[in-house]
Amino acid sequence: MRAAVQRVSEAAVDVDGTICGSIPSGLLVYVGVAPDDGDDDVAYLVDKVRHLRIFCDDSDRMNLDVVQASGQVLLVSAFTLQADARKGRRPSFDSAADPKHARALYEQLCDSLSETGVPVERGSFGAYMKVSCVNDGPICILLDSHRAI
């Protein structure tokens, strides 16, 4: 699984003119699922997103995680994170999981992260979404469970 994590001061997902998920501050996380992803990949991302220390403490150092910073998480499915753009001009999405598998792991990720005490909002899986955010920093971190040690 791949994730693009952004520290935000606000974020929202709009589907057909209706806000389906929003947070006042915290992390906007785009998630892409690969065909061979499973429970271990979900566990890796849950641990990383929950404990990633990218919020500033009183000394203005990035020492706090999302819970310590009283933040929330907005999780958005994004198969395009699995794109391969090394050849040609049009990316290949062959590395993205089929929708049924991807939806199951996306939902598992949302539920598992929520169980750690983080307030979690969701995008709308498979829908055309308009995602808006105010990136705070900007802080953008890429995570890939297949590159974990």
Backbone angles phi, psi at 110, to 5 degrees: -60, -50
Residue 89: exposure state from Cβ atoms within 10 A (0-12, 13-18, ≥19):
exposed
The CATH superfamily of 2-147 is: D-tyrosyl-tRNA(Tyr) deacylase (3.50.80.10)
Q: What pLDDT score was predicted for residue 129?
A: 98
List, for residues 77-100, the tens digit of each pLDDT value. 999 999 999 999 999 999 999 999
State how beta strands 2-15 and 18-23 pair: antiparallel
Residue in this structure with the two tokens 């403490």, named with its chain if needed: 57
134: number of Cβ within 10 Å? 12
Q: Could you give the percent of the chain with pLDDT greater than 90?
A: 98
Cα 52 from Cα 63, distance rounded (Å): 9
List, for residues 2-42, the tens digit of each pLDDT value. 999 999 999 999 999 999 999 999 999 999 999 999 999 99
Positive or negative CA dihedral for 110, 23, 20, 31?
negative
What is the rounded average pLDDT for all residues in the chain? Answer: 96
Q: pTM for the whole thing? A: 0.95
136: number of Cβ within 10 Å? 20
How large is the average pLDDT for residues 124-137?
Answer: 97
How large is the average pLDDT for residues 55-73?
Answer: 97
**Res. 149: pLDDT tops 70:** no
